[in-house]
Structure 1
């Protein structure tokens, strides 16, 4: 019974037995992307309108996100970037983090990236607020979906 308590979750499990969590996360994201790819958000009435846009007339950081995901599922990177320029690099970063998580799980090691550092959270928050404000100013009109 050595190592069962410490190795029951996280480091210690190796190979296929350690992959249900990363593969489950990938399956959930893929199912959501497949749904958005199949049900075109460019057609009115398919999805609810953005509540912030409806109430204020201003774009939120997520405005254009569904249409950008739809464009990504079609392989149109330029259109996706035009609709929401933050979503495309964020999606790429999340894919990279998922790959690191999967490799670490396969090897039975700890996840190598420390994304929970407060500095990263504050930097992300500053980026989102700056993007949110910038896309609603006349100078940032090119950021609007």
Structure 2
């Protein structure tokens, strides 16, 4: 077998022309509808009012905040356009929303073009994300660090 020069290697995966765009965009559309539903419920049913949602099980059992505590209130604040309040409730959620929106846009674009599936994130990114979440969890429960608490 004769090796091919590097200039002849395709830079992007081949497209799947056998599947129409409507079918390729089904899962991005379902995902967008689910995310929209979540934001709509968080917007309409105010999580700041007692009794609208159950208490965080981790908070109820341990009395400490988990990394997700304040996510509903941050989502509610974002749905009302209040970025400062959302950052006060859970800054990690706001950062996660930005990353998820960018990832969704990339995924939908690749689906639109008919490109093959994206590969999973490299291990170093997943380990880094794990340690960021653990550090956030630890820091938001430190005495005196009330600026990270969702209250």
TM-score normalized by the length of structure 1: 0.87
Report the Cα offset of residue 14 of structure 1.
Answer: 4.8
Q: What is the DSSP-based 3-state SS (H/G/I as helix, E as strand, rest coil) of the residue aligned with 1:123?
A: helix
Q: Could you tell me which of 116, 129, 132 is aligned with 1:127?
A: 132
Cα distance in 2 for residues equivalent to 1:17 and 1:77: 35
What residue in structure 1 maps to residue 94 of structure 2? 88
Query: Secondary structure of the residue that 1:86 maps to in structure 2?
Result: helix
* Secondary structure in structure 2 of the residue aligned to 1:61: coil
Equivalent residue runs for 1:1-20 within 5 Å: 11-12=15-16, 13-20=19-26
Moved more, 25-34 or 133-142: 133-142
Counterparts of 1:15 and 1:78, CA distance in 2: 39
Deviations 1:36-86 (A, max 9, x none): 110000000110001111111110001111100011111111110110010
Question: Which residues in structure 2 correspond to 1:45-60 (within 5 Å)?
Answer: 45-60=51-66
> Larger C-alpha radius of gyration, 1 or 2?
2
How many residues were matched structurally?
A: 135
* Pair 1:100-2:106 in alignment: yes
Give the root-mean-square deviation of aligned CA atoms.
Answer: 1.7
Question: Shift of residue 116 of structure 1?
Answer: 3.0
Q: Which runs of 5+ in 1 are unaligned?
A: 1-10
1:42 aligns to 2:48 (yes or no) = yes
